[in-house]
């Protein structure tokens, strides 16, 4: 007879079947690309200089901190992830990873990233990194996501911090352009996510998550996407109005903003899934290009 309880045996079997790819998947690497890119843009757009090794360390800490936050999100949400087609294959709900291992891995990475950021870069950058991890895990995932359709508006602030962290790594202070980069991502998140939620709606309904199309309907969601798109495009022009960025950025933001507005308007009019899919895909390209333009404007034309 085995001296292990059947629960312990099950736990061990789960732990044993996790491969390194599962630990990588836990970090949400695809979402992390844009998080790291916006963090890098904040760092490159900031005035002053930073040693390349310190810069590399800061970006690594943003990547690891964001990955750890994603892993904690997957640890906390494995019950609802199991109910959604898009997420059922993740390491924990698929039964390949022991939740305790995932939590230990994530907490170690989060603690390490914040500590190294503080020791090697500066403590304000470490504090903002910690705040963004806590915002994503505690405010968004644990508190708001299952309670209100405004979950992503408020909780989405977590994803707006990376350029601020990059900026603070260089300057040690939060300045107007850093705050504007935060505002742009903050206002970008609702159109980004709600366009996706329009075609992943049944998944969220099945999991009992009160995403906007589930609670308020598709038409209201399309209206909200439209409103936030206009606010976001206005915010992207604020750095020009305030003299923080010049003509290269102004032209890029205007063209990109025009395309985003056209996409949101088309979606509002037609309500077609294909238009929602197109707008979601464009939202990602949009943020990459807009932030590249911020850096180009600051560096190339400086």
Ligand X SMILES: CC(C)=CCC/C(C)=C/CC/C(C)=C/COP(=O)(O)OP(=O)(O)O
Contact residues toward ligand X (CB under 6 A) are 28, 31, 35, 62, 65-66, 69-70, 73, 77, 87, 129, 132-133, 136, 145, 158-159, 161-162
Start-to-end CA span in the chain (Å)? 74
Contact partner at residue 66 from ligand X, ligand HEM, none, CB < 5 to 8 Å by partner kind: ligand X
CB neighbours of residue 195 within 10 Å: 25
Burial status of residue 16 (CB atoms within 10 A of its CB: 0-12, 13-18, 19 or more): exposed
Contact partner at residue 185 from ligand X, ligand HEM, none, CB < 5 to 8 Å by partner kind: ligand HEM
d(CA 38, CA 184): 11
* Chain position carrying tokens 């979601």: 280
* Chain position carrying tokens 């760092």: 43
Least distance from C-beta 269 to ligand HEM, angstroms?
A: 24
Rg (CA), the chain: 20
Least distance from C-beta 226 to ligand HEM, angstroms?
A: 18
- Under the binding rule (CB under 6 A), the answer on residue 185 touching ligand HEM is yes
d(CA 267, CA 288): 22
The residue within the footprint of ligand HEM, chosen from 42, 65, 91, 156 (CB under 6 A), is: 156
The residue within the footprint of ligand HEM, chosen from 26, 133, 165, 196 (CB under 6 A), is: 196
Least distance from C-beta 159 to ligand X, angstroms?
A: 3
Contact partner at residue 222 from ligand X, ligand HEM, none, CB < 5 to 8 Å by partner kind: none
| Chain residues 265-284 in contact with ligand HEM, contact rule CB under 6 A | 284
Burial status of residue 164 (CB atoms within 10 A of its CB: 0-12, 13-18, 19 or more): buried
Tell me which residue has its CB nearest to ligand X: 159
Among left, alpha and beta (phi > 0; psi -120 to 50; other), residue 48 is left
d(CA 160, CA 187): 9
For residues 284 and 256, is the Cβ–Cβ distance under 8 A?
A: no
- The H or E element spanning position 112 is helix 99-116
d(CA 228, CA 251): 21
Return the number of the residue (158 or 232) whose C-beta is nearest ligand X.
Answer: 158
For residues 261 and 229, is the Cβ–Cβ distance under 8 A?
A: yes
- Under the binding rule (CB under 6 A), the answer on residue 107 touching ligand HEM is no
- Under the binding rule (CB under 6 A), the answer on residue 189 touching ligand HEM is yes
Pattern 23-52, ligand HEM, x by CB under 6 A: -------xx-xxx--x--------------
Contact partner at residue 34 from ligand X, ligand HEM, none, CB < 5 to 8 Å by partner kind: ligand HEM
Least distance from C-beta 103 to ligand X, angstroms?
A: 16
d(CA 178, CA 168): 8
Least distance from C-beta 86 to ligand HEM, angstroms?
A: 6
Segment contacting ligand HEM by CB under 6 A, of 14-22, 46-54, 154-162, 246-254: 154-162
Segment contacting ligand HEM by CB under 6 A, of 57-65, 125-133, 184-192, 223-231: 184-192
- Using the 8-state DSSP alphabet, how is residue 94 labeled? T
- Under the binding rule (CB under 6 A), the answer on residue 154 touching ligand HEM is no
- Using the 8-state DSSP alphabet, how is residue 4 labeled? S
Instruction: Name the site residues for ligand HEM (rule: CB under 6 A).
Output: 30-31, 33-35, 38, 140, 152, 155-156, 159, 185, 189, 192-193, 196, 284, 287
């Amino acid at each position: 007879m085995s001296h292990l309880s059947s629960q312990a045996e099950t736990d061990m079997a789960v732990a044993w079947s996790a491969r390194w790819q599962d630990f990588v998947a836990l970090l949400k690497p695809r979402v992390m690309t844009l998080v790291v890119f916006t963090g890098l843009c904040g760092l490159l757009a900031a005035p002053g200089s930073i040693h390349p090794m310190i810069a590399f360390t800061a970006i690594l800490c943003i990547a690891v901190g964001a990955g750890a936050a994603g892993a904690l999100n997957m640890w906390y949400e494995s019950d609802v992830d199991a109910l959604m087609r898009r997420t059922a294959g993740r390491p924990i709900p698929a039964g390949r990873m022991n939740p305790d291992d995932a939590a230990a891995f994530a907490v170690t990475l989060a603690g390490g990233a914040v500590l190294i950021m503080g020791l090697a870069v500066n403590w304000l950058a470490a504090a903002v990194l910690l705040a963004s991890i806590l915002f994503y895990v505690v405010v968004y995932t644990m508190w708001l996501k299952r309670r209100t359709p405004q979950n992503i508006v408020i909780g989405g602030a977590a994803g707006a911090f990376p350029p601020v962290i990059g900026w603070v790594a260089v300057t040690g202070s939060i300045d107007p352009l850093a705050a504007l980069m935060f505002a742009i991502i903050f206002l970008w998140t609702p159109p980004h996510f709600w366009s996706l939620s329009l075609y992943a709606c049944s998944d969220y309904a099945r999991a009992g998550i009160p995403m906007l199309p589930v609670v308020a309907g598709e038409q209201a969601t399309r209206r909200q996407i439209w409103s936030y798109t206009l606010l976001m495009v206005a915010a992207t022009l604020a750095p020009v109005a305030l003299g923080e960025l010049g003509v290269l950025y102004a032209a890029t933001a205007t063209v990109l903003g025009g395309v985003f507005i056209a996409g949101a308007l088309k979606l509002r009019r037609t309500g077609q899934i294909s238009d929602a899919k197109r707008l979601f895909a464009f939202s990602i390209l949009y943020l990459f290009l807009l932030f590249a333009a911020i850096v180009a404007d600051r560096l190339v034309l400086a």
